[in-house]
Chain A
Amino acid sequence: MNDMNTAPTSATMLAMEGVAFTHRGHALLKDVSLSLSRHGNTIVMGPNGAGKSLLMRLLHGLLSPTHGRLRWHGQSGRPPRQAMVFQRPVMLRRSAIANVTYALAVQGTRWRDRRPQAWDALERFGLTEIAHRPARVLSGGEQQRLALARAWALRPEILFLDEPTSALDPAAIKAVEDAVIDFHHQGTRIVMNTHDLHQARRLADDIVFLCQGRVIEHNQADSFFTTPRTREAAAFVRGELVW
């Protein structure tokens, strides 16, 4: 077993126990046991089709595992407040600010608190000028920032980000990375996918390395990049494809 801390401890936030996901006879994720500590940024890496997005969806509860189970620790086992930013942001057919207030409304925020909180979030991401524009006519980068602002407004305890920077220009990538660091300082647990090794080095505390539906390695970030434990991870870090 290559998980760095398989046995859940008091510092564990979330544990996957022997999780598999099978779809129409295809085992897309196999025997994943993983435990995520309460703090830090986890970066999920691996080649295309390895199952990274799928793993995120299972962790976030959008899909249920076909085998094994997911356990949240603390708070009597109930899932904490969480949010996810998708690779292609989904915006409702409303103004930018209404997209944020909608999410707040669903979460149960009191009516009179919604606008101020949404406005704060838009301000944090430099979106106040476009607050009243229809969200779906915004550029891809603006929509990505709006998705982050929306997640920010929800004050999640854990935030899932699926390749949030893959379609962005360098300045926007910097803005997203800064936001991730801010989330971290707010105490939000981050789980993020990226294909960018440099980004992973900048942001990660630990790396989950997936290949063909298996967690090949779960390691501290520095060890993963300097002394990977597995042949596959070593090849991946060198930029040689593995599948």
Chain B
Amino acid sequence: MLSEDNAFTTALQLIIGLDETLVGIVALSMQVSLTAVLIAAMLGLPLGAAVALWRFPGRGLVIIILNAFMGLPPVVAGLVVYLMLSRAGPLGELGLLFTPSAMVIAQILLILPIIAALTRQHTEERWDEYREQLTSFRVSRVRAIPTLLWDARFSLMTVILAGFGRASAEVGAVMIVGGNIDGVTRVMTTAIVLETNKGNLPLALGLGMILLLLVALINAGAFLIGEEARRRLG
């Protein structure tokens, strides 16, 4: 049995030595979460801006649902995607269950509401401020979407970072739909759970440190973006 001190040293050695297993897990995590955040942003940014711009029946309900889904428990998201993708489910024929694609879908479900809801808030603030001026320019609503997104760009980058943070740090959804298959769907969080249970503390700790570093980097990024926005935009 390794002492904790030893586990820590070994973990560092794994990181510095770019241990193959560790690198593979980190790379898959990044690939899955970056893909998810990219797709969620491509859908969520225009969706949020559209909800900010248009008044339609049921708009309030849409906003409430988006806000509520921001707090969707990851295991529930995982369960929903599992039911959709399982062999008996409506999308069972695609054979996506227990693949990285399934994990991407589950993470999109988790972070799309966050990105859409926060985008709605930020772009609506801009719209309240710009409405008269843009109407004076005879800007159409469709044309206003990219304008508002661009003018909320600093806030929205922070939103996207938050989405990425949530995607890469959650366990429940990817565990259910990915299955934590070695070399196929094992990502940082699920590996940490497994390795800790097995008593393989160095690998768990090494992954934990990388995850922590990632979260720290995301927060630093958000902070720097905020500072830059204050400096550049007044």
A interface residues (Cβ-Cβ under 8 A, vs B): 57, 60, 62, 83-84, 86, 90, 92-94, 102-103, 106-107, 134, 136-137
The one of B130, B139, B150, B153 in contact with A106, judged by C-beta atoms closer than 8 angstroms, is: B139
A94 near B151 with CB under 8 A, answer yes
Instruction: Name A62's contact: one of B130, B132, B139, B234 (CB within 8 Å).
Output: B132
Say whether A137 contacts B233, CB under 8 Å.
yes
Distance in Å from the Cβ of A39 to the closest Cβ of chain B? 23
- Contact between A86 and B233 (Cβ–Cβ < 8 Å)? no
Q: Which B145-191 residues sit within 8 Å CB-CB of chain A?
A: 147, 150-151, 153
The answer to whether B129 has its CB under 8 Å from any CB of chain A is: yes
Smallest Cβ-Cβ distance to B143: which chain A residue: A106
B interface, over-half SS: helix
Closest to B154 in A: A93
Q: Which A residues are CB-close (under 8 A) to B234? A: 134, 136-137
Q: Residue B135 at the A interface, CB < 8 A?
A: yes
Q: Are A92 and B132 in contact (CB under 8 A)?
A: no
Give every chain B residue within 8 A of A102 (Cβ-Cβ): 137, 147
Q: How far is the CA of A107 from the CA of B136 in the complex (A)?
A: 11
| 13 interchain pairs, CB-CB under 8 A | A57-B132, A60-B136, A84-B136, A86-B132, A86-B133, A86-B136, A90-B133, A92-B151, A93-B151, A94-B150, A106-B137, A106-B139, A137-B233
Whether A90 contacts B151 by the Cβ 8 Å rule is no
A140 to B50 CA separation, bound complex (whole angstroms): 32
Query: What number of B residues sit within 8 Å (CB to CB) of A?
Result: 17
User: For residue B150, which residues in chain A have a CB less than 8 angstroms away from its CB?
Assistant: 94
CA distance A136 to B151 in the complex (A): 12
Known: A134-B234, A136-B233, A136-B234. A90 touches B137 (CB 8 A): no
Cα of A91 to Cα of B137 in the assembled complex, Å: 12
A90 near B132: Cβ-Cβ < 8 Å: yes
Q: Shortest Cβ distance from B30 into chain A, in angstroms?
A: 31
| A90-B129, A90-B132, A92-B130 known; A103+B232 contact, CB < 8 A | no
Contact A90 B130 (CB under 8 A): yes
Q: Which residues of B sit under 8 angstroms from A93, Cβ to Cβ?
A: 151, 153, 233
C-alpha gap A137/B229 in the complex (Å): 12
Q: Is B55 an interface residue (CB 8 A)?
A: no
Residues of chain A with a CB closer than 8 A to B130's CB: 90, 92
Instruction: Closest B residue to A160 by CB, please name it.
Output: B136
Residues of A within 8 A of B232 (CB): 134
Q: Which residue of A lies closest to B229 (CB)?
A: A93
- Report the Cα distance A163→B143, complex, angstroms: 29
Is B198's beta carbon under 8 Å from chain A? no
Residues of B within 8 A of A136 (CB): 233-234
- Residue numbers in A under 8 Å from B151 (CB-CB): 92-94
Q: Which of B203-234 contact A (CB under 8 A)?
A: 232-234
| Contact residues in A for B153 (Cβ distance below 8 Å) | 93
B136 touches A83 (CB 8 A): yes
Give the nearest-CB partner of B232 in chain A: A134
